Amino acid sequence: MSSAALDFSLTQQLTVTGLCALSAFIAHRALAVFNDGVRPFLLDFVQGRTTRGATTAVSFGLSAGFVFGLGAPMALSTGVLNPWLLFLPTDVLGLLAPRKWLAPVLGGAWGAVVVLGLDGANGLAHELPVDFLTAMRRMSTPILFLFALFPVLAVTRQFGRPLGAVAGVLELALTVLTMKLWPQMFAGSLAMAAGVLMLIGLAVARDLRRRRAERAEQKEAEAEAGAEARAEARAEARAEARAEAGASTPQAGPPGDDLMASLFSASAARLRRHLPLFMLLGAGVAVLAQSHVLGGGEATSFLIAKGDYTEAAQVDFYRAFGFLPLIATTALASGAYGIAGFTFVYPIGYLMPNPALAALAGAAVFAAEVLALSAIGRLLGRLPAVRDSSEQLRAAITDALQLAILFGSLLAAEAMGGGLGIMVVGGLWLLNEAMGRPVVRMAAAPAAVIASGVLLNLLYWLDLFTPVTG
């Protein structure tokens, strides 16, 4: 892997600063946030049922662990920025700002801190006797290869152990084949593709079987019941509906469905009214991805650091399917979109040949996503198995990454401190678990590596520890 240098060009510095300013402004307007857990709370804020301070507190509580425990360590160890480091703080700063003009100022200031401060921190850390940032690069192999197994977990959970075993054998065979025939390619690329396609194929087949069964049952019921019986049933149903809701207030459907449809329609219309802002946001994210200083995920950051841009695009493309239903439904329910949209803007940006085309592509992707949001919501409602597959993918990604990051962090601990490093990092992780996870599990292990690195350097200066050689 190349050196994890965070020395950005002036253009890249200005792009990061401008994008952070824009994302903070959009968060201030409650039009979009990056944290999926914060988005559902924005509806109450937009409708005046909660205060800006309370919403900011929720955002900070759900984001701080990811920023300092995952975003910063990943950026320092790979030399590639990530959305947790850039956009989670701008969520908080944008919501915190009491004035519209102050939000982009605070967001831009955070972007400047990132691009100007990280390089200095990176250089200082590499001068320490115990170089824990270099050790953290040992995380790359577990993250890349264990991440590739997430489709196997999703297939197993949704469709059972036999099909899960088939997916596992298929991925293993394709990984071995890729390593043998195409050693220059990331070995998990074809395996992930096959696993995701298998999952989607099984889900679509289940939905099609369900719809055929429903149509067959409907035809059978219609054949058994005569026209007169059907008419009487409809008349009785209408009479009951009028009796419950009042004859003077006719309804076309269940009140809850009408209310939800009205809410979704209003949310989609709110987002469409601000389409130019979203197009500008999409252009900025795509340009930053095209410059290969921004990665959309943990595995992606390491792939970009190695120069494997095509594989990085593939990984983030598959990842997007796991989060699309969550982002779509929370956006329609709250009227707030995602800072990275459905995240398809990342892989598109990686593959663009120049910033101008990346900006155009990013703007077009965001425009298409926002305009299609209502249709996507209706489609997901008609395909429950596909929607469940996305939820299974998202959960499998989280589980695979939690194991990979923990295992990689222990490898990093061994590299910088031998058994003592493993003891400290593993002990901090276990302590976090015993205390009820004040630091979210995925961020706890990288945070423990950095804390362990600081402790080992202190022990070295006290002449109580000798750094591991090699």
Whether 244 maps to a domain, the answer reads no
pLDDT at 178: 92
pLDDT at 329: 87
pTM: 0.84
Rounded to whole angstroms, how far apart are CA atoms 424 and 457?
13
Give the range of the structural domain holding residue 210, as residue numbers without chain letter: 155-237
Whether 242 maps to a domain, the answer reads no
Do residue 74 and residue 160 come from a single domain? no
Which H, E and C letters describe 96-122, residue by residue?
HCCCCCHHHHHHHHHHHHHHHHHHHHH
Q: H helices within 101-188, ranges in order? A: 102-126, 132-135, 140-147, 150-159, 161-181
Final residue in a domain of this structure, among 187, 204, 237: 237
Per the structure block, which two tokens stand in for 269?
């219309």
Please answer whether residues 394 and 326 qualify as being in contact, where contact means their C-beta atoms are separated by less than 8 angstroms: yes
Whether 421 maps to a domain, the answer reads yes
Do residue 162 and residue 142 come from a single domain? no
Residues 6 or more apart whose Cβ sits within 8 Å of residue 144: 186, 188, 299, 302, 303
Whether 60 maps to a domain, the answer reads yes
Do residue 178 and residue 77 come from a single domain? no
Do residue 325 and residue 366 come from a single domain? yes
Whether 467 maps to a domain, the answer reads no
Please answer whether residues 320 and 260 qualify as being in contact, where contact means their C-beta atoms are separated by less than 8 angstroms: no
pLDDT at 4: 57
pLDDT at 3: 47
Do residue 296 and residue 443 come from a single domain? yes
Do residue 90 and residue 171 come from a single domain? no
Total domains present in the chain: 2
Do residue 354 and residue 446 come from a single domain? yes
Do residue 202 and residue 86 come from a single domain? no
Amino acid at 467: P
Amino acid at 176: V
Whether 245 maps to a domain, the answer reads no
Do residue 105 and residue 213 come from a single domain? no
Do residue 424 and residue 326 come from a single domain? yes
pLDDT at 266: 85
Task: Report percent pLDDT > 90 for the chain.
Answer: 58
Whether 108 maps to a domain, the answer reads yes
Do residue 373 and residue 447 come from a single domain? yes
pLDDT at 43: 84
Rounded to whole angstroms, how far apart are CA atoms 23 and 339?
7
Scanning the structure block, which residue is given the tokens 């309370």?
Answer: 54
Residue 217 neighbours by CB distance under 10 Å? 10
Q: Which helix (H) or strand (E) holds 61?
A: helix 52-66
pLDDT at 364: 97
Whether 3 maps to a domain, the answer reads no
From first to last of its 470 residues, the chain has per-residue pLDDT tens of: 444 567 788 999 999 999 999 999 999 999 999 998 899 889 888 888 889 999 999 999 889 889 988 899 999 888 899 999 999 999 999 999 999 999 999 999 999 999 998 888 888 888 889 988 889 989 999 999 999 999 999 999 999 999 999 999 999 999 999 999 988 888 888 899 899 999 999 998 998 898 888 888 888 777 776 555 555 656 665 665 555 444 443 444 444 455 455 657 888 899 999 999 999 999 999 999 999 999 998 889 999 999 999 999 999 998 888 888 889 888 988 889 999 999 999 999 999 999 999 999 999 999 999 999 988 888 888 888 888 988 898 899 999 999 999 999 999 999 999 999 999 999 999 999 999 998 888 899 999 999 999 999 999 999 999 887 64
